Amino acid sequence: MDNTVGSRGIKSLTKRQRAIVIGKILGDGTIEKNGNYSRLRVCQSDKQKDYVYWLYEELKPFVTNNIRTSKASGYRNSRDQFRFDTYSLPVFEEYRNLFYKNKKKIIPSSIKKLIFDPITLAVWYMDDGYKRTDNSGLYLCTSSFTDKENLILKDCLYKNFKIDTNIHYAGGYARLHIPSRSMNTFVNLICKYLVKSMLYKIPLTP
């Protein structure tokens, strides 16, 4: 696959980078059309600043510019956002074709072949995960996906990682619940990849 941008030759994503990108797409990352191909956009609040810098370093060969800051709209007290974009490349077009249908993010039928590396789970969790207030379980916010897609994710997590999950609803929005019986398994898989400032999201560090 030719991922050349201008006169700068960019190699294909490494296995680790692909795993990170997939986790980011499952979470808050956006793959957007930009010119002939698509790009990955990363944008997080100031609370996740260290995480954005970690992602930037991991994907740096594919990033177009330095991390930028802007003011988030819709907040009573204006907050900083930290963001960067990748180059528009065939590899990101590939992911847009997989994870988007009619401009809406979806879970592809091939997801079991895509989620196999724990770093994917770690990125997904850093993006869209949180612990229960009683520390007896964890949640992955999956409300943007259909009930059928949540079942596909549930099946994938069990078959690929032996992680049991349940689908919980709050205000009509779906979440994947990782109960206490699977919590330590999940935390053990992801903890070594978590950015230090994200450790508040897990109830314990093995």
| Span 71-85, pLDDT tens digits | 666 555 557 889 999
- 37 has a pLDDT exceeding 50: yes
Model confidence, pTM: 0.90
Predicted local distance difference test score (pLDDT) of residue 85: 95
Q: What's the domain count of the chain?
A: 2
Are 132 and 99 contained in the same domain? no
Which tokens belong to 159? 């078959």
Residue 157 lies in domain? 111-200
Output b/e per residue, 123-145; b: 16+ Cβ within 10 A.
bbbbbbbebeeeeebbbbbbeeb
Q: For residue 9, is it within any domain? A: no
CATH code of the domain containing 61: 3.10.28.10
Output b/e per residue, 159-187; b: 16+ Cβ within 10 A.
ebbebbbeeeeeeeebbbbbeeebbeebb
Are 82 and 19 contained in the same domain? yes
